[in-house]
Amino acid sequence: MAGPGLGRTEQHRKRSEGTASALLRKMLESSSVLLFIVFVLIFVLLLFAVLIRKNAAAALIWHEIIREKITNFIMNQSKEQRILDFVLQNAVRGDPRSVVDAIDKYCTQKEWAMNVGSEKGIILDKTVEEVNPSVALELGTYCGYSAVRIARLLKPGARLLTVEFNPEFAAVAKQTIEFAGVQDKVKILEGPSEEIIPQLKKKYEVDTLDFVFLDHWKDRYTPDTILIQECNLLRKGSVLLADNVIIPGAPEFLKYIRNNPRFQCTNYPSHLEYMKAEDAMEKAVFLG
């Protein structure tokens, strides 16, 4: 007959085995759950990779939200600052063409960004050269890419006023513009476009605008175009050029501008900056 001590030892052993078995089951269950989550994440990423190649909207979500946020968190630095750092390290100071090329290289090889880009940049260049503006307005400065691109083509004495709502973008753009050596031709105006446009005549001594480049929030294209007219900032022959009218898209602007007898419109099919997705620019000449 087993003594009481032996019985307690047996009970303790069985309890220990039961606890170990329960712990093992929990570990296996946890491992299964973790493995399932990993498989789901891999599947989602693969699915997203397919969508990115076939769907521009998915590509923008990936580049502008998911990848950018992750990279910003890991590097503790904004994408815009990384673009500026690349320019400072690889472009030639005082050479605007070199600055433009450096940004295009970074956004093609490393991280997508919402500049007008090299392909549509050619359309922008040709339009600026045709208009040969004395006073130009840009709505949406971002990192200063298009401001540098426009400024390098301006004749002596001409000026570009560029409006940026985001102070962090404006700070990066200021350094980009100064590094390119075109700061004497470009003035950054910080704040909402709907507040700055009515100030152009008195505060910034603008009589009329020869050229306007719209590349900011797409839902502001139409109201800002109307506001520019209401403020009597256009003359006969003034030219508006709007980017991204297909992606992300500006359908209300296209409807407004194409059905307005005071404008003569031309569409320039192209591709979304640094992607193969179809996009376009819309040129509108003010007829007076």
Annotated binding residues for substrate, written as ranges, equal 218, 244, 273
Check 215, 224, 279, 282 and give the catalytic one.
215
Q: Which of 80, 104, 138, 273 is catalytic?
A: 273
125 is catalytic: no
Which one of 218, 224, 279, 283 is the catalytic residue? 218
Asked about 215 being catalytic, the answer comes back as yes
Q: Is 244 designated active site?
A: yes
* CA 214 vs CA 15, 140, 164, 240: distances in Å: 74, 7, 12, 7
Which residue among 104, 244, 279, 283 is the active-site one? 244
Per the CB < 8 A criterion, the answer to whether 238 and 211 are in contact is yes
State the burial class of residue 172 (Cβ atoms within 10 Å of its Cβ: 0-12, 13-18, 19+). Answer: buried
Residues belonging to the binding site are: 116, 146, 164, 215, 218, 243-244, 273
Tokens 């260049």 sit on residue: 125
CB neighbours (10 Å) of residue 191?
Answer: 13
Binding site for Mg(2+), by residue number, is 215, 243-244
Write the CB contacts of 239 (distance below 8 Å, at least 6 apart in sequence): 127, 130, 131, 210, 211, 212, 283, 284, 285, 286
Tokens for 184, please give them.
Answer: 């004497």
CA distance 136 to 209: 6
Burial of 55 (0-12, 13-18, 19+ CB in 10 A): middle
Catalytic residue among 80, 224, 243, 282: 243
CB atoms within 10 A of CB 49: 11
Annotated binding-site residue numbers for S-adenosyl-L-methionine: 116, 146, 164, 215
Is 279 marked active-site?
no
218 catalytic residue (yes or no) = yes
Largest Cα separation within the chain, whole Å, is 114
Which are the catalytic amino acids? 215, 218, 243-244, 273
